């Protein structure tokens, strides 16, 4: 019943929120509506398909063409099941910690973690690499979990600065340590493919905490990243 009511409201355009009315307060959290999870994935795909079809028609595209007629459904499924799946909390990777039996007390660096995200201002791709380091407080984690955390926060409309802090905060909580470093370098297609059309510039953001606030520790991390 709740989904039917939400669908009815959306059909009446009551779901549209002006930016000035949005409750987002500059938090590091991705700005989501209070009813963000009232619709299941199947209904979201149905609605996005319908609206994207309207966009294509407005652009003058012939949706009877064999190449185009399936595009609204493909885009809808891609949005919900793939490139924006990081909006759904249940898709957050679980992290299991293990005892640091090797007594390894130096930093562990996982670099060149590739990711694809989307700029929330124009909904065009951000393509980048993340470099992560942590110093164990007695626990370690499977390396692939670091990649999964990066890609979880990348799989949503993003701002690179926010994504950097989100990954850092999640790693601190998951690894139970403040000794975390995150550095992200990325190409933004909103810069490269439109507007200024600069294909050579990169955006770099970083977040340091714990022992990485020390200059020597930070320089060691950056040396490993540049190797």
**What gap in Å lies between CA 178 and CA 175, rounded to an integer?**
9
Contacts of residue 199, Cβ cutoff 8 Å, sequence gap at least 6: 192
pLDDT at 27: 78
What is the residue whose two structure tokens read 């989501």? 32
pLDDT at 6: 53
User: Residue 138: which of 192, 174, 97 has the closest Cα?
Assistant: 97
Buried b (16+ CB within 10 A) or exposed e, 12-34: eeeeeeeeeeeeeeeeeebeeee
User: Residue 100: which of 134, 60, 49, 57 has the closest Cα?
Assistant: 134
Indicate the domain borders of the chain: 2-91, 97-226
For 12-65, the pLDDT digits (tens) are 444 433 333 333 345 799 999 999 999 999 999 999 999 999 999 999 999 999
CATH class of 97-226: alpha beta
Question: 186 with 131: CB under 8 angstroms?
Answer: no
Cα angle for residues 37, 2, 75 (degrees, 5° grid): 45
Contacts of residue 165, Cβ cutoff 8 Å, sequence gap at least 6: 28, 207
Mean pLDDT of the region 74-103: 95
Identify the architecture of domain 2-91 in CATH. Orthogonal Bundle (1.10)
Sheet holding 107-119, edge to edge: 157-158, 107-119, 125-135, 180-188, 203-208
How far, CA to CA in Å, does 150 sit from each of 126, 132, 170, 209? 13, 9, 10, 17
For 158-209, the pLDDT digits (tens) are 999 999 999 999 999 999 999 999 999 999 999 999 999 999 999 999 999 9
**What gap in Å lies between CA 109 and CA 21, rounded to an integer?**
42
List beta partners, residue 128.
Answer: 115, 186
Q: How much is the pTM?
A: 0.88
Instruction: State the catalytic residues.
Output: 119-122, 160, 188, 190
For 109-148, the pLDDT digits (tens) are 999 999 999 999 999 999 999 999 999 999 999 999 999 9
């Amino acid at each position: 019943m709740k989904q039917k009511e939400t669908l009815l409201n959306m059909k009446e355009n009551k779901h549209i929120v002006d930016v000035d009315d949005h409750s987002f307060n500059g938090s590091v959290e991705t700005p989501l509506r209070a009813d963000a999870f009232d619709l299941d994935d199947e209904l979201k795909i149905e609605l996005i398909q319908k609206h994207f079809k309207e966009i294509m028609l407005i652009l003058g595209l012939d949706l009877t063409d064999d190449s185009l007629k399936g595009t609204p459904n493909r885009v809808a499924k891609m949005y919900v099941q793939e490139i924006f799946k990081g909006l759904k909390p249940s898709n957050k990777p679980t992290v299991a910690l293990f005892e640091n039996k090797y007594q390894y007390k130096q930093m562990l660096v996982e670099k060149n973690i590739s990711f694809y995200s989307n700029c929330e201002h124009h909904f065009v791709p951000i393509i980048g690499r993340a470099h992560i380091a942590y110093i164990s407080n007695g626990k370690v984690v499977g390396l692939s979990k670091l990649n999964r955390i990066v890609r979880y926060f990348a799989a949503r409309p993003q701002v690179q600065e926010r994504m950097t802090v989100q990954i850092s905060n999640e790693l601190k909580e998951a690894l139970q340590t403040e000794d975390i470093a995150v550095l992200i370098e990325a190409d933004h297609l909103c810069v490269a493919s439109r507007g200024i059309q600069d294909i050579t510039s990169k955006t770099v953001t970083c977040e340091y905490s714990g022992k990485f606030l020390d200059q020597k520790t930070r320089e060691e991390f950056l040396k490993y990243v540049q190797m």
